[in-house]
Structure 1
Amino acid sequence: MFDTHVNLHGEPFADDLEEVLERAREAGVTRFLAICDRFDNFESVLAIARSHEDIWCSAGVHPHHAKDFPDLTVETLIQAASNPEVVAMGETGLDFHYGYSAEDDQVTSLRKHISAARDTGLPLILHTREADELMADILEEEFQKGPFQPLLHCYTGGPELAQRALSLGAYVSVSGILSFKSAKEVRAVIADVPIERIILETDCPYLAPVPMRGRRNEPAYLAHVAEALATLKDMPVDEIKRITDENAVRLFAKVTQQ
């Protein structure tokens, strides 16, 4: 399995990161994608990737922090992508639930990331919350300027954004939320996403799947995400693991170029 979204550089894993990674490997996780949430954390995220042969990373600014990096440039993101360990742009996107950054700041940051993804050919990791229509509009508008590869990360949005993004060739990643009893709407949307476009993630240390809810999430729990998807798609779990791993390697093609 490929855990395509792990947050490893913060305090939750400061004391036992190597033990966490070893448990994940024993559970069948063979690749990890460490996510950059703030550009001032990029060097820390990159250092983790450089020190582990099975970890790669992204470069970007989460929409919560868009206001903190008004001077971020497309060129800076492109330069970050020149590192062989960097295989994706983001996490970027739109989050109007918390409003930590103003809408204009989020949109500006998102468009910079799209430009960098288009220029580098790297996948664009997208976070969307309570902004489905605007996100779909921006993706379609930007696609007219030139193609890029969207990834709807930890998807909890509605069916319209999912289908509009899929029409642009997007992939969709599912997390432990898929296993939550309350996530009926999420399961209904993912049921209509072709298995060839789905990848797995934990988004650790957040969103621990059933039966681990209430604990710190970690990559070893990715198997439970696979089980939830297997139940939803009525497929053998080993087949789910194989297909989603192949999907992830195809999406993050740079991991096989090293």
Structure 2
Amino acid sequence: MLIDTHCHLDFPDFAAERDDIVARAHAAGVKQMITISTRVRKFPEILAIAEKYPTVFCSVGTHPHNADEELDIPVSELIELARHPRVVAIGEAGLDYFYDNAPREAQAIGLRNHIAAARETGLPLVIHSRSADEDMAAILTEETGKGAFPFLLHCFSSGPELARVGVELGGYVSFSGILTFPKSEELREIARTVPLERMLVETDAPYLAPKPFRGKRNEPAYVAHTAAVLAETVGVSAEEIARITTENAFRIFSKMPRV
């Protein structure tokens, strides 16, 4: 059994065949999925998907690309929306200095607001971090000092120092199809430093399809390919990495039942 801990089933790429995509995931051994929110104001669409499929759960939050559009949404609203039984995480929120689609100050404020919601609810914060390692490490360190909160660094593509800081602060590291790319040896080296009990796998579908589907639309079924490469990278069997990452997923997404 595998869990795709990060996909975007609400995206238009999946609208015409969502039933088939979920069915293909199940057939591939991906028994549960978490569809991740990028805008709180579109949360009803995410929630409707999680309510339709018994094996799909969701998060609530604002992607850093859209941070400046939703700074008026208070932490209290995030907390209230997170009470729904299908919501198992906060986010995704974070810092993206690669695209800089939102002002960096707005991204940081949004991230801290989501941290406050994660701390209050006990739900894990799904963190997006790209080209912002130093600032992300600083914020996580500072905020953890104010009070611990569960978090994971999703679709990890940062440097070894952020991985180290994240793990030391109690966080998890999630690997996507990027891990399977031929030029990702540095990322595979980082994966070897992450404790087995802190590893997760994801697709970030519809993006970042792993080999042999690179360049095509990604979907939850393909997380099995990332898991296989992760297993090879850290020197365990595919069955063992499936067991490890699944147990890790249930540990951090503690609100998510086994279905």
Does TM-score exceed 0.5, indicating one fold? yes
Q: Which residue does 1:160 correspond to in 2?
A: 161
Q: How big is each residue's C-alpha offset from its partner over 1:206-256, in whole Å with a ceiling of 9 and x where there is no partner?
A: 000001112110111111011110110111101110110010011101012
In 2, the alpha carbon distance for the partners of 1:32 and 1:148 equals: 22
Q: Which residue does 1:84 correspond to in 2?
A: 85
One-letter code aligned to 1:118 = R
Q: Which residue does 2:228 correspond to in 1?
A: 227
Q: Which residue does 1:29 correspond to in 2?
A: 30
In 2, the alpha carbon distance for the partners of 1:138 and 1:70 equals: 18
Matches within 5 A, 1:39-188: 39-188=40-189
Provide the alpha-carbon RMSD of the alignment. 1.0
Matches within 5 A, 1:213-252: 213-252=214-253
Gaps of 5+ in 2: none
Aligned-residue offset at 1:257: 8.4
Partner SS, residue 30 of structure 2: coil
One-letter code aligned to 1:9 = D
In 2, the alpha carbon distance for the partners of 1:257 and 1:121 equals: 19
TM-score (norm 2): 0.98
Structure 1 runs, 4 residues or longer, greater than 4 Å off: none
Identity %: 48
Q: How big is each residue's C-alpha offset from its partner over 1:38-92, in whole Å with a ceiling of 9 and x where there is no partner?
A: 1121110011001111111000000000011120110010011110110000000
Q: Which residue does 2:196 correspond to in 1?
A: 195
One-letter code aligned to 1:20 = I
TM-score (norm 1): 0.98
Matched, 1:14 2:15: yes
One-letter code aligned to 2:192 = A
Partner SS, residue 42 of structure 2: helix
Q: How big is each residue's C-alpha offset from its partner over 1:9-47, in whole Å with a ceiling of 9 and x where there is no partner?
A: 011001000001101100001110010001121110011
One-letter code aligned to 2:202 = E
One-letter code aligned to 2:127 = L
One-letter code aligned to 2:144 = F
In 2, the alpha carbon distance for the partners of 1:177 and 1:203 equals: 10
One-letter code aligned to 1:161 = L
